[in-house]
Amino acid sequence: MAAASGPTAEELLKELAPQVLGVLLRRGAPFAAAEDAVQEALLEAVRRWAEDGAQPADPRGWLVTVAWRKHLDAVRTDAARRRREVRVAAAPDPGPTEQSDDTLLLLLMCCHPSLSRPSAVALTLRAVGGLTTDQIARAYMVPVTTMAQRISRARRTIAGERLTRSGDLGGVLHVLYLIFNEGHSGTADLSTEAIRLCRQLVRTTEDPEAQGLLSLMLLHHARRASRFDPDGTLVPLDSQDRARWDTALIAEGVGVLQGALALDRLGPYQAEAAIAALHADAPSARETDWPQVVTWYDELVALSDTPVARLNRAVAVGEADGPQAGLRALADVPEDVHRHAAVEAHLRERAGERQRARELFILAARRATSAPERDHLTRRAAALGAGS
């Protein structure tokens, strides 16, 4: 939310733009036309509000009125050009319950199941996040023409879809999770953007999984300063300087999680957030409540039995009950799962099997999907090579 001093006009417009877009979509404007109309209204707002020296009392209502008028103008111009009869339905008044749903409806539209995930990510950042196409292209390190195509293709795909309230909220959560988790080092701060979008979502729904996802994001974001050395070296959780974790974000994340758990509808994001909260609560890796972490992984596997969840559970079992127990838990995990070799290497090293651990770290480094992970695993292998 905006600080008590009040948002700047720019912040306010960024916050209101998706809401106004949602209103236009609800009134039946096609997606691309609605976006154009909102953009024009934003430009007019910047100009007019500066001239008048003040914002209108109801900036949102002002923007809706202007954007809708811009849209009608465009429709009439277009219709006149094509010599078609003008048929514009009267604008329905937005009811009181509609307003808070605008952002949710827009998110449901942008994350529609008919879109590929990259397309949904791009459209969400553009239409809801208000990022420019250029910013999104740089964040994902693709040419701006490619990103422009991806977005316009996504718009065409959803052009015929109807906006309904009973859309796929799980799809929205997954897209926001992807935006947060991609961790690209581009110019736009996507993690912060994902948190901002998830906050908006949480304000519009009572969904405990949306809250669980927000909590998960906040708790991981809190570790941000400690995840890399100044030279870019990856620092794993057990070696991070916990004094650098952001205690305000942790407190907020834990608070959001408690609110979600109180609704008593547990889901995978809440379980993952609970695990992150246990780590956040521990003064060191050694002092972590590992049995409790294992319990939450059991919940997670029961809710969503994925190989990755089982793999991470094996790590926790290894910490709670020793490396042999961890290796037994790992036996349930398919070997082709990403990071399987890395986890087994770690457990073998703790079990004293240095030679086997070294071979597995070398294999894990070959299979790493990121350079910092690869370098970290190569160093672990090298450390076992010396004097063993």
Give the residues lining the site for other proteins (CB under 8 A).
116-119, 121-122, 140-143, 145-151, 153-154, 177-178, 180-185, 191, 216, 220-221, 234, 236-237, 272, 275-276, 279, 312, 315, 368-374
CA–CA separation, 22 and 377 (whole Å): 47
Among residues 39 and 149, whose Cβ is nearest to other proteins? Answer: 149
Among residues 70 and 223, whose Cβ is nearest to other proteins? Answer: 223
Q: Which residues does 82 contact at the CB level (< 8 Å), separation at least 6?
A: none
Among residues 188 and 216, whose Cβ is nearest to other proteins? Answer: 216
- Alpha-helical (H) ranges within 182-223 are 190-204, 208-221
Is 277 within 8 Å of 255 (Cβ atoms)?
no
Among residues 63 and 271, whose Cβ is nearest to other proteins? Answer: 271
Among residues 23 and 176, whose Cβ is nearest to other proteins? Answer: 176
CA–CA separation, 51 and 309 (whole Å): 56
CB of 374 to other proteins, least distance (A): 7
CB of 122 to other proteins, least distance (A): 7
CB of 185 to other proteins, least distance (A): 6
Among residues 259 and 372, whose Cβ is nearest to other proteins? Answer: 372
Tell me the three state secondary structure of residue 229: coil
Q: What single DSSP character describes residue 328?
A: H
Tell me the chain's radius of gyration from C-alpha atoms. Answer: 24
CB of 62 to other proteins, least distance (A): 35
Q: Helix 323-330 vs helix 340-350: angle between axes, to the nearest 10 degrees?
A: 150
CB of 383 to other proteins, least distance (A): 20
Q: Which residues does 67 contact at the CB level (< 8 Å), separation at least 6?
A: 20, 21, 23, 24, 34, 37, 38, 40, 41
CB of 236 to other proteins, least distance (A): 8
Q: What is the residue whose two structure tokens read 């650098």?
A: 244
Among residues 69 and 242, whose Cβ is nearest to other proteins? Answer: 242
Among residues 140 and 245, whose Cβ is nearest to other proteins? Answer: 140
Q: What is the residue whose two structure tokens read 């020296």?
A: 53
Q: Which residues does 321 contact at the CB level (< 8 Å), separation at least 6?
A: 294
Distance of CA 307 to the CA centre of its chain: 21
CB of 20 to other proteins, least distance (A): 26
CB of 183 to other proteins, least distance (A): 4
Q: State how far the alpha carbon of 261 is from the alpha carbons of 237, 249, 290, 292, in Å.
A: 25, 18, 20, 16
CA–CA separation, 293 and 307 (whole Å): 17
Long-range contacts of 279-282 (CB under 8 A, 24+ apart): 279/219, 279/237, 280/219, 280/222, 280/245, 280/250, 280/253, 280/254, 281/254, 282/242
Among residues 21 and 274, whose Cβ is nearest to other proteins? Answer: 274
Among residues 34 and 115, whose Cβ is nearest to other proteins? Answer: 115
CA–CA separation, 215 and 213 (whole Å): 5
CB of 42 to other proteins, least distance (A): 25
